[in-house]
Structure formats: C-alpha cells, structure tokens
Amino acid sequence: MSPTLFSRIIQGEIPGTFVYRDELCVAFMTISPITTGHVLVVPIQEVDEWTDLSDSLTSHLFAIASKISNAQKTVFSCQRIALVIAGYEIPHCHLHLIPSNSMADLEFANARTNVDRKELEQAASLIVAELRAAGVTGAV
C-alpha cells in the first residue's frame, strides 16, 4: 500500500504549512479551508478511521486539538472552534479544527480551493505565536 497524501506531507514529500509536530501527531493548515485558520490534526501513524485509533492516541490527538483550538479562538476572534471528523476525503484519520461563528461556517461545500500559500502561512504564524505564548511544546 502506498503512503497516504497526509503521510507524504508529514514526511516532507509534499509541502505543508505546519503549526504543530510531536512524535505522535502533526497539525497543519488545510489547503481547502472552510474558514480562515482551518487546521487538520493528523496522527503520524496511518489509521483510516478514528474509531480504530488506540485510546492513548485518541486522547493525545484530542489534547493537542484542544490546545490548538484555544489558540485559534484567540487569534481569529470566533465564537467556537468546530471539531469535525468526517473521514471520507483521505483514508488517514484527521481532525478538522474550524474557526466558526455559526453552523453555516461548517459547510464543506464552501471550502475554498486555490488558496494562496501566503494566506495559509499568515494564519499558521498567528496560531504558532499563540501556541508558543501559551507554552505549548511542539509548536513549530
């Protein structure tokens, strides 16, 4: 089986705009954001469905997602950070962290394409700065 798209991003074969990395997971900006600041939290281990993750990896992913969400909420001044696990796009578990102010912000049909990499990098730098300010180890 060939590596998933996410594994190729994690391994640096395909560019990614990372905000977090540790020995178990990474977090990077999606290239098709629904809203500005949309981040994916992805385990390094290739596991298709989130229900197949070990309990310890599930706990770790959600703990990291919480830290990143707190940073997103601060820097993007939104009401909530929605956490969505759809699992259909790529056969590699990933948590969508989506800054939102209403349910309308969660429509995947509204995901943008061809987003300028500079826009992703600007959003990432805001998140990373907030993670570092909060003392989060692993912020890149």
Domains of the chain, residue spans: 5-131
In three-state secondary structure terms, 109 is: helix
When pLDDT is cut at 50, 70 and 90, the band that residue 116 belongs to is: very high
Q: What average pLDDT does the segment 103-130 reach?
A: 93
Question: Residue 81 and residue 16: Cα distance in Å, rounded?
Answer: 21
Burial 69-101 (b: 16+ CB within 10 A, else e): bebbbebbebeebbeeeeeeeeebbbbbbbbbe
| Token representation of residue 12 | 């640096």
Give the CATH superfamily of 5-131. Answer: HIT-like (3.30.428.10)
What pTM was estimated for this model as a whole?
0.95
pLDDT tens, position by position, 53-86:
999 999 999 999 999 999 999 999 999 999 999 8
